[in-house]
A = this chain, B = another copy of it.
């Protein structure tokens, strides 16, 4: 488990590596309109590099350790690691999510039971991992308006599989605790 990656998602009006194709408030308030997205990564800071163009706004998150995954699930994940940056994966989505205070107030064992035993979150992700690469960024401890920023990459041919994955997660018991979710669909320039 390497050091966390500190990611800053910069929403811009001027061209950047990802074009924003659609933005949709799935639950709760929308994000302000933007045309392009740049993703900045660092191991030490969420500050943008000096001289970088000023974005309209940013979302920030950091990768972290596995918070719910048991050993057998970790071994299954290790067999098919999600590969980010594949040449054919020209489509991407960034989906920031905030869960309710009721979720955060649950003890660890109850959150785990809802997330996996009853919602199959880890198992569902495994079903799609060969086609849909994804990465989870934690934002709650950064004072951000969302608890997580989720990132997905896939080839255009897998767009239907991606929609299936989102539908399966959104139909789960876990998603009853989601109070804000915005889906931003992207094409790599």
Q: Given the interface contacts A67-B108, A108-B112, does A101 sit within 8 Å of B141 by beta carbon?
A: no
**In the complex, A69 has a CB within 8 A of chain B:** yes
Please tell me if the beta carbons of A70 and B143 are within 8 angstroms of each other in the complex.
Answer: no
Bound complex: CA A140 to CA B66 (Å): 13
Chain A interface, number of residues (Cβ within 8 angstroms):
34
Q: Given the interface contacts A1-B101, A1-B104, A104-B65, does A109 sit within 8 Å of B142 by beta carbon?
A: no
| Chain B residues whose C-beta falls within 8 Å of the C-beta of A105 in the assembled complex | 1, 65
At the interface with chain B, which of A37-45, A79-87, A88-96, A124-132? A37-45
Q: Given the interface contacts A65-B104, A104-B65, does A140 sit within 8 Å of B110 by beta carbon?
A: no
Which of B68, B70, B107 meets A70, CB within 8 Å?
Answer: B107
